[in-house]
Structure 1
Amino acid sequence: MRVLVTRPENQGAELCSLIEKMGGIALHQPLIDIQDNVQLVVDDTLLQRSDIIIAVSQYAVYAFQRILIHQQLSLPSSCIYLGVGQKTAHELSKLSQQNVNYPTVSDSEHLLALPELAEVSGKHVIILRGNGGRELIHEQLCELGADVQYLETYQRRYLPLKPDALTQWRTMGIDTLIVTSGEQLEFLLSQVSGPDLSWLTQQQLLVPSERIATLAMTKGFNNVTNTQGASNSTIFAALQRLEIGLNNDQQK
């Protein structure tokens, strides 16, 4: 198995290490760079009156923690805290010193199904995120009558591919791609055309949710696996299942 990992920063490097320990070959090709949103000024009144705070990623929590320290702010104790995934919830729990619930499947749809979001009319909700993404959460909570505000705690900067990137991937025999957001998938495909695009869409693609899997199939991918979560452990488990399946096919 030869895997292209597009996760940014330490998460991508960690996943590559797991793949190599499994005996696979991994190439780390981040599609985005993440930086704290130093322009964000948090309204403490808005923060303290919030009823629900939702973190959509670990990056949102890490950046928020640094912003709180810099602006000498504290989090409310009488507030419901939610994370899109287990790791995000764990980091938010450490920051808030509160219990943080999360869905069993790490995506927006399953987060919205949590009981804490069943009755939100008139509630003040803060969503911790980067510059864009997770609009479904905002839209649905607003439709249910909540007052929803974004705090964009970090900024994503897209990283263009080098001119010879596709040649390198093909030479290495990359057969599996890992892309963890719809925005990153769209960005990747926007830089590829012609025979390279045809080759790319023939490879095995792993994505973290059904929504992104559907998007990928509309873009021409035929071999798409929904890992049902974006944590490295969940993605790695999906890779292991694929590897076992490929090995069994070869032995038949």
Structure 2
Amino acid sequence: MQDCHILITRPEPENTLSCERVRHHGWSAIPLPMLEIAPIEENDRKAAIRAKIFDIDTFDYVIFVSKNAARIACDWLDDCWPMLPANVHWIGIGQGTTQTLIDEGVPALSNPGHTTEALLEWLKPARMKDQKILIIRGEGGRPELGNKLEERGAKVSYLSLYDRKKPRYSAQTFVMLPDINLIWVTSGESLANLSEYVTRHMPHWKSLPILTPSSRVNQQAIDMGWVNATCANGADDNSLIKATELHTGQQND
């Protein structure tokens, strides 16, 4: 299935990078982001972000929930901290987020897994008591990580650096797409947006193979009526490419 057409639903700028990786493997990449990342622009919100970034050395742990959180945070850190504070533990959820931080000069660590749940398992309760933790994310992100850390005695603060928006597509957008053989989805929110459009415009897509980043999102896909959902065990390109190779290999047998 070298001519496999893969729908890539990541937000930009990661969508373009994922499409390049997919094409490098000989497949066709069809970009259709199901989430828009909009950095915060309001002056009062930017002033609050700047104040929190200047206080980042008061935290024991700083946790970045996504590559977008890492990418935007690094711009703020470059502006406010010519030299990073040495007493902070920088943590990325997932290898892609961690690598984004490392590439920007932030000495980040990552848990062996790729999900919030895996991170909670890695951060043993004894380590968290009375620790000050800053979670960097988008506006309105999942509360589970912070809630669980607070249950362990941590003092949790949040810093939202961007808004997440649903892209606006018309029925014509979907009609003009080539035939799709496989779909990549990398978050529960992207899945929900995709499912809404598919139910309205392309209901037969619900029978297509769809790769999801975690067992949680995979179950969401099944609950939303996707009958051929598979967990890729990661939202990063390497995990999704490996799962795609397994799928195309099965199709070739």
SS at match of 1:42: helix
Name 1:204's counterpart in structure 2: 209
The letter for the 2-side match of 1:25 is S
- Distance (whole Å) between structure 1 residues aligned to residue 80 and residue 201 of structure 2: 51
1:163 counterpart residue number: 171
Asked whether the 8 Å contact 1:57–1:88 carries over to 2, the reply is yes
Give the distance between the partners of 2:181 and 2:7, measured in 1 at CA: 8
Shift in Å, 1:116: 5.8
Query: Does structure 1 residue 242 correspond to structure 2 residue 247?
Result: yes
Partner SS, residue 228 of structure 1:
coil
* TM superposition shift of 1:223: 0.8
Amino acid at match of 1:51: D
| Residue aligning to 2:146 | 138
Aligned to 2:10: 7
Distance 1:50 1:245, change over 3 A: same
Which piece of structure 1 moves more, 229-238 or 127-136?
Answer: 127-136
- Report the Cα offset of residue 146 of structure 1: 1.1
Distance in 2 between the 1:182 and 1:29 partners?
A: 16
> Could you say what secondary structure the match of 2:171 adopts?
coil
2:155 is matched with which residue? Answer: 147
What is the DSSP-based 3-state SS (H/G/I as helix, E as strand, rest coil) of the residue aligned with 1:191? helix
Identify unmatched segments of 5+ residues in structure 1.
Answer: none
Aligned partners of 1:176, 1:3: CA distance in 2, in Å?
5
- Asked if the contact 1:75/1:96 (under 8 Å) is kept, the reply is no
Aligned equivalents of 2:13 and 2:52: distance in 1?
A: 31
- Give aligned pairs, total: 244
Equivalent in the alignment of 1:29: 32
Query: Match for 2:151: what amino acid?
Result: E
Say whether 1:53 aligns with 2:66. no
C-alpha displacement of 1:194:
5.4
TM-score normalized by the length of structure 2 = 0.87
- Structure 2 distance, partners of 1:194, 1:64, is 36
Greater mean deviation of Cα atoms: 23-32 or 227-236: 23-32
TM-score, structure 1 normalization: 0.87
State the SS of the aligned residue for 1:132. coil
d(CA) in 2 for partners of 1:45 and 1:128?
Answer: 14
Q: What SS does the aligned partner of 2:20 have?
A: helix
Tell me the C-alpha RMSD between the 2 structures: 2.2
1:199-241 Cα offsets, whole Å, 9 max, x none, are 1211111111111001111111111111111111221111111
- Greater alpha carbon shift after TM alignment, 216-225 vs 80-89: 80-89
Larger mean CA deviation between 208-217 and 140-149 belongs to: 140-149
Partner residue in 1 for 2:232? 227
5+ residue gaps, structure 2: none
- For 1:17-96, list aligned pairs within 5 A: 17-38=20-41, 39=46, 40-43=49-52, 46-71=55-80, 75-95=84-104
Cα distance in 1 for partners of 2:66, 2:125 equals 18
1:164 Cα shift?
1.5
Q: Is the Cα–Cα contact under 8 Å of residues 129 and 154 in structure 2 kept in the other structure?
A: yes
Contact 1:77 1:96 in 2 (8 A): no
Q: Is the 8 A contact 1:86 1:102 kept in 2?
A: yes
TM-superposed CA distance for 1:110, in Å, is 0.7
